[in-house]
Amino acid sequence: MKIDVKIPSPGESITEVELTKWLVSNGDIVEKDQEIAEVESEKATLPIIAPEAGKIELVVDEGSTMSVNQICCYIDTSFSASTESKPEQVDNSTEHSKTSKAEQSKEKPKEQEKDEIRVTSGIKVTPLAKKKMEESSLNIDDIIKGLRRITAADVDLAKQELSNSSGSSEIVEKAKDQDRGLERKPMSQLRKKVSERLVTAKNTTAMLTTFNEVDMSRVQEIRAKYQKDFQEKYGVKLGLMSFFVRAAVEALKLHPMTNSMIVGEDIVTPNYIDMGIAVQTPKGLMVPVIRDAQKMSFADIEKEILRLATKAREGKITLDELNGGTFTITNGGIFGSMLSTPIINYPQSAILGMHNVVDRPVAVNGKVEIRPIMYVALSYDHRIIDGKDSAAFLMDIKRMIEDPEKLLFGGDEPVKKLIGL
């Protein structure tokens, strides 16, 4: 029996996905619950699971944009791994062995020939692509020069290019020169969504950015002194991010508007802090969310960041782990960035940007000293956060990073707490 395999729904508001990768080939025998493909929505990458065991028949190419519940392949359950891999009876007769091999070569199933990738002039062409080429009277040279494999998406792209103006055609002709090649590929669903959100943030918010500098001496001393013990006890490294998450939590408590957002004509301020941590992945920027960061210790934060970042980079992050967030931190310093103006993660109202740590000459008690300095930036929505509050927020971040003991007392001086002031 042949069953349909349909595109699953990644979430309520998502209607289209991109089939980014087949994990099996046409005609393969798959097991039940085996991952057979990856689809990418505007928020995450999800697997397609084989509902039954059998022989798979692919009906769409990689890179195709598909609607939710659209059929992507069929599985013929009359085939199975056990029947396909059943060992043949071995005869000791050499003559019988030769006859068997000859019969196998003569009796190659037509079904297998149909499913094979066709090769023309050293370039592989998928069956679906070949069909489209025949319908559009296109040959391989019309598609592109230098490809080793042609898919249906390449055929569609060639048809579009041939219908363009003469100026565009001239560019395509020049691109066929091996020394002056052009690569053109459609934007992924995730990249489209990221682009849309960034433009929305720029066009919707009254975004401004304020800057400050932080002396990282105390944080570096603490990490150097306690790194080994911390790692042995908790199994993760003590990084910079846990210091900034804890400092941001305390600063957000002191400046709740920075943890707010505009919904309609209302200002909504949660009584919790869900901290988004921007992570660069092979598929683009993602922002996993640490839930209830205000309740977490340094070790809890480091473990959760590691877990979420690993899942994001492996394409296994879930929608629930990406949705929401009341405030975001992004660290361009890991890529060597000295200074930047981060874009707000809409509909949030502010984002904290970290940068690289560089030894710089600074004035300390009237003397010039070399200190490890990080520039920090806060981009904020001026519609609900005033310049005074944004500057005060960054000053509180600076105070708590330069004197981490204050994190134990809500950002206040330990001695003041001790004497009751």
- CA 375, 384, 269, 251 dihedral sign is positive
CA distance 318 to 307: 12
> Which token pair is 64?
């195709």
CA distance 53 to 33: 8
3-state helix, strand, coil in the chain (%, to 5): 40, 25, 35
> Which residues, 6+ apart, have CB-to-CB distance to 167 below 8 Å?
none
Catalytic residue among 386, 396, 403, 412: 386
Active-site residue 386, yes or no? yes
The one-letter amino acid at 89: Q
Residues paired with residue 285 on neighbouring β-strands, in sequence order: 280
CA distance 172 to 247: 53
Residue 246, classed as helix, strand or coil, is helix
Catalytic residue among 177, 382, 396, 403: 382
SS (H, E, C) 153-215: HHHHHHHHHHCCCHHHHHHHHHHCCCCCCCCCCCCCHHHHHHHHHHHHHHHHCCEEEEEEEEE
Length in residues, the chain: 421
The one-letter amino acid at 18: E
Query: In angstroms, how far is the first alpha carbon of the chain from the final one?
Result: 78
Active-site residue 141, yes or no? no
Could you give the residue numbers annotated as active site?
382, 386
